[in-house]
Structure 1
Amino acid sequence: MSIGLFRQALNALHVNSNGRTSYRVNQWFKWLSPGLSVKRWLLISVSGVLLASLGLAIWIKLTPIFLALELLRNFLGVLTNILPNYISGPLVLLGGLLLLLWGQSRTVSSITEVLRPQGDKEELIDVLLAHRRLYRGPKIVVVGGGTGLSTLLRGLKTYSANITAIVTVADDGGSSGRLRQEFGVLPPGDIRNCLAALADEEKLLTELFQYRFRAGDGLTGHSFGNLFLTAMSDITGDLERAVAASSKVLAVRGQVLPATLSDVRLWAELVDGRRIEGESNIPKAGGRIAKIGCIPENPPALPAAIKAIKEADYIIIGPGSLYTSLIPNLLVPEIAEAIASVNIPRIYVCNIMTQPGETEGYTVADHIQAIDQVCNHVQLFDAVLVHKKTPSAQALIRYAQQNSHPVFLDREAVANLGRRIVPANILDEDECGVVRHDPQKLARVLLKWYSGAQHGK
């Protein structure tokens, strides 16, 4: 009985040892991956060891070195008598290389243990490979606002670190609206969500930034993230510098830029003739929107936003509320003109559900026409991404009670508008029937389409 248990223990140790050995060898060979610029420094290190050895030999007139070499020659002579040179030579060479790699990897591991956060077990080589891959990703510009934009950013940041989110600053409701009135700052709400979505520690930071004070004179209802950005704006001088400074502090992957630094206020004319002012009031008016604009008219764009668009490899518009998240960015004429002028893949991500007070009864073509109308019928994008799977019955009932329904795809009308249709299953539905875009599915489809568009050129 005891012998059987002993054998099982030996077998288990053997399996675990093999697993650890193969993993470690795999980690070593990762250091030889293309693009890491490690092989050249490894070769220089070996050359340095050989050159230092040669210098030492010359300095001490070869006497100890000669004796060591004689001892080594005798040892190798004995070894070649036991094993042929075509076996012993490669074995010794392999042993030397393994020792060199082992020494280098242990050196790096010692440094990594000091530098990496406590509890983070990710190998330095994996961090370097991921860093190289992300910072060689395409330059992506995403235009929008609201929860739709932050959802998309969560998925995109796993494919590229060269992301620029251009965000609306027309929000005037809730905590953002109060801060706008009391401190005269641009509304930080949408920017706060984007910063949290692009941060490395996204989950913790999102919880912190979304935390709303439930008590306190003047604090009730404010989110911590909004107060943080308001304080940073006061310290740095404006929202652009505040966002840039916050991005460094929060280790944000990419950059978030306001569309304009002007104090923009939205207005909408409804089909029934009413004129509604204020971003938060437009959806509450309960009418069909005929025209939308802003005060002041034609606000100047943030120069950094225009620069990002002109240097982009790929532009994504949406998802988000059509009239209160997407179109406010396009009411900045320079942004619309810059998007129209670049000859790169451009796509619009259509919403899954219609939005009460904004897009009731809208089809996919209606969404496209609304954007075209604001841009004087200049075509800003070549394709439209549409979800093709119907939400569950539970979700349909839930949204129908709010007078919201799936956006109908009118293929012929979209084709007549000169847009390609990209259908995909990108839905995320929770247990309560709340419908959202799935960040990873959405990003994967968008990057796949981008790759195909690049090869199709």
Structure 2
Amino acid sequence: MSISPLKQALRRLSSERSRLTNMSKTTPRRVNRWFKWLSPGLFVKRWLLISLAGVFLTLLGVAIWVKLTPINRLIEFVTGMLETLANIIPNSVSGPIAIGLGVFLLLWGQSRTLGAITEVLQPEGDGELVDLLLAHRRLNRGPKIVAIGGGTGLSTLLRGIKQYSANITAIVTVADDGGSSGRLRREMGILPPGDIRNCIAALADEEKLLTELFQYRFQAGDGLSGHSFGNLFLTAMSEITGDLERAISASSKVLAIRGKVLPSTLADVSLWARLTDGRLIEGESHITEAGGKIEQIGCFPSNPRALPAAIKAIKEADYIIIGPGSLYTSIIPNLLVPEISKALAKSQVPRIYVCNIMTQPGETEGYTVADHLRAINQVSGQRIFDAVLAQKTSPSSQSLKRYAQENCHPVFLDRENVSKLGYRIILANVMDEDEQTGYVRHNPHRLARVLFKWYTSKRHRKI
């Protein structure tokens, strides 16, 4: 179908207007970009000055080498020109003009050089190199954070806090025995990679794409059906590198994640739980399926050895965050490693527990915030954090009805009991609610904002 002459004229007019608008915006944007390179913390100015000094010394060396003859004539010529110029234009005007022109040419040359480098490093042009450097420096100056947990709760937390610091260590449970992870654990004899996979994806820069790739499950294929790509990737890396710790480290470098992901132990840990009705349930996936109330929880072997790198991270941490996540199958399995519980108890840095928003069938039915804290204290044998973050507002009536069908309810904040246990309460709205499904989850960015606000206030109080 042909386009009418009128439409063609309108399109040309629109494109010409856009071109002129873009031209008017280009110059101030470029100037702003040049001055960004002089921002503190980029370590660019010092190298710029060193480069200028190098140019000067090179020219001086050449002049000395040839016995100063060319440089003397050049000096005489430049002196004559400057005297003539000074007679025409006062030095109060010509001096600043020359300085400004020299700085402009220097910055322009550096900008064009860095632009050429950017085209190679970022062929798709996602953001300015200077902005990426500024963000990189800011994140590298962030506090050393240790986040402990597992499941979807820990990966949700990591998506938020990676915007505030690149010095993150996620310590992840390896007690999972269900789904793809359980199959690989039984068939290949490796530690379950599922929770670790989620954390690696959450800390990656290309989070959305990597999450989709790592979460992709094969729908067909002999032996492949039901497995996620991320689990198979980590399994292959474990075979190549020798163990899961090296596999995670190698994968983290390949995927350029912010921070580190560490298993709490390299032992082949299996959970068990004793219910109030006397049943003894073995296996993480079977505990929630049993549908009883948990009276006691433990693991085989009974005292697994902690990963040394995890203990080192806790000792060097500036801030420790525990949760959110399933209390008995994501949080507590990490605390069943005695060295981790002891290291957390000895730590003097701000430590906070992020409580779940809703109760969980088969784990925390009828639990209050204080019940969560008592369960953690019972396992660890001591206090391992200072404060608890609880959801401030209740979900909508639609979500409450949806959850009530599964015997789930909001975790009630019993202030008096929490205070008696010696914990400070942080109340905030950190919830996201899906209007279609009615499910509620922690909002990663809102959660991170509240956590860092509390951390900043604690740090300033110490100062």
Q: Normalized against structure 2, the TM-score is what?
A: 0.92
In the TM superposition, what is the alpha-carbon distance from 1:60 to its structure 2 partner?
4.5
Query: Which deviates the most, 28-37 or 289-298?
Result: 28-37
Once the two structures are superposed, residues 283-302 of structure 1 have per-residue CA deviations (whole angstroms, 9 ceiling, x without a partner) of 11111111111111011111
Task: Measure how far apart 1:147 and its partner are.
Answer: 0.1
Which residue does 1:132 correspond to in 2?
137
Is 1:375 aligned to residue 406 of structure 2? no
Report the CA distance shift for 1:66/1:239 in structure 2 as closer, same or farther (over 3 A): same
Structure 1 stretches lacking a partner, 5+ long: 1-7
SS of equivalent to 1:272: coil
Counterparts of 1:325-336 in structure 2 under 5 Å? 325-336=330-341
C-alpha distance after superposition, 1:346-372 (max 9, x if no partner): 000001111111111111111111101
DSSP-derived class of the 1:280 partner = helix
Greater CA deviation, 391-400 or 339-348?
A: 391-400
Q: Which amino acid aligns with 2:392?
A: K
C-alpha distance in 1, partners of 2:426/2:282?
35
Distance 1:80 1:12, change over 3 A: farther
CA contact (8 A) 2:119 2:125 kept: no
In the alignment, what sits opposite 1:437?
A: 442
Structure 1 position 35, deviation (Å): 2.3
Deviation at 1:221, TM superposition (A): 0.7
User: How far apart are the structure 2 equivalents of 1:69 and 1:11?
Assistant: 51
Alignment of 1:374-413 (within 5 A): 374-376=379-381, 378-413=382-417
Assess if the C-alpha contact under 8 Å between 2:37 and 2:130 holds in 1: yes
The residue identity in structure 1 corresponding to 2:38 is: L
Aligned partner of 1:196: which letter?
Answer: A
| Secondary structure of the corresponding residue to residue 348 of structure 1 | strand
Give, in angstroms, the shift of residue 328 of structure 1: 0.4
Q: Is residue 111 of structure 1 aligned with residue 114 of structure 2?
A: no
Deviation at 1:121, TM superposition (A): 3.3
1:172 is displaced (CA, Å) by 0.6
Cα 1:10–1:62, aligned 2, differ >3 Å: closer, same or farther?
A: farther
CA distance in 2, matches of 1:205, 1:180: 23
Map 1:127-206; keep pairs closer than 5 Å: 127-206=132-211
Question: What is the Cα deviation at residue 67 of structure 1?
Answer: 5.0
Work out the CA distance in 1 between the residues paired with 2:134 and 2:233: 33
Matched, 1:30 2:36: yes
**Worse-superposed segment, 9-18 or 231-240:** 9-18
Q: SS where residue 334 of structure 2 aligns?
A: helix
Match of 1:293 among 276, 298, 304: 298
1:420 corresponds to which residue? 424
Describe the SS at the equivalent of 2:286. coil
Deviations 1:379-399 (A, max 9, x none): 100000111021122211211
Alignment partner of 1:342 is 2:347: yes
Counterpart in the other structure of 1:252: 257
Please say if residues 181 and 194 of structure 2, whose CA atoms lie closer than 8 Å, have aligned partners that are also in contact.
yes
* Matched residue, 1:229: 234
Q: Distance in 2 between matches of 1:234 and 1:121?
A: 35
Pick from 21, 44, 48: which aligns with 2:54? 48
SS of corresponding position for 1:282: helix
Q: Output one character per residue of 1:248-292: Cα deviation in whole Å (capped at 9) or x when no partner.
A: 111111111111111111111111211111101111111111111
* Rounded Cα–Cα distance in structure 2 between residues aligned with 1:12 and 1:225: 45
* CA-to-aligned-CA distance 1:412-441 (integer Å, 9 cap, x gap): 111111000111111112232221111111
Runs (5+) with no aligned partner, structure 2: 1-13
Q: Which amino acid aligns with 1:306?
A: I
Matched residue of 2:146: which SS?
Answer: strand
TM-score (norm 1): 0.93
Question: CA shift at 1:16, angstroms?
Answer: 4.3
SS at match of 1:456: helix
How far apart are 1:406 and its partner, in Å? 1.0
Determine the C-alpha separation between the residues in 2 that align with 1:362 and 1:79.
Answer: 86
Tell me the amino acid that sits aligned with residue 386 of structure 1.
Answer: A
Aligned to 1:5: none
Following superposition, the deviation at residue 79 of structure 1 comes to: 4.2
Give the Cα–Cα distance (whole angstroms) in 2 for the partners of residues 285 and 10 of structure 1: 70
CA contact under 8 A between 2:147 and 2:320: conserved in structure 1?
yes
Cα distance in 2 between the residues matched to 1:50 and 1:415: 68
| Counterpart in the other structure of 2:289 | 284
Q: How many residues align?
A: 448
Equivalent pair of 2:320/2:349 in contact (CA under 8 Å): yes
Q: Please name the residue that 2:326 is paired with.
A: 321
Counterpart-to-counterpart distance in 2, 1:223 and 1:52: 59
In structure 2, the partner of 1:86 is: 92
Q: How many Å separate the matches in 2 of 1:422 and 1:15?
A: 49
1:82 Cα deviation (Å)? 4.5
Report the more deviating stretch, 63-72 or 143-152. 63-72
Structure 1 residue aligned with 2:11: none
1:220-240 deviation digits (Å, cap 9, x = unpaired): 111111111111112222111
Q: State the AA in 2 paired with 1:314.
A: Y
- Residue 222 of structure 2 corresponds to 217
Task: After superposing the two structures, state which structure 1 stretch, 229-238 or 305-314, moved more.
Answer: 229-238
Cα distance between partner residues in 2 of 1:438 and 1:390? 14
Report the Cα distance in structure 2 between the residues aligned to 1:360 and 1:312, rounded to whole angstroms. 33
Which residue in the other structure is 2:456 paired with?
Answer: 451
Matched, 1:57 2:63: yes
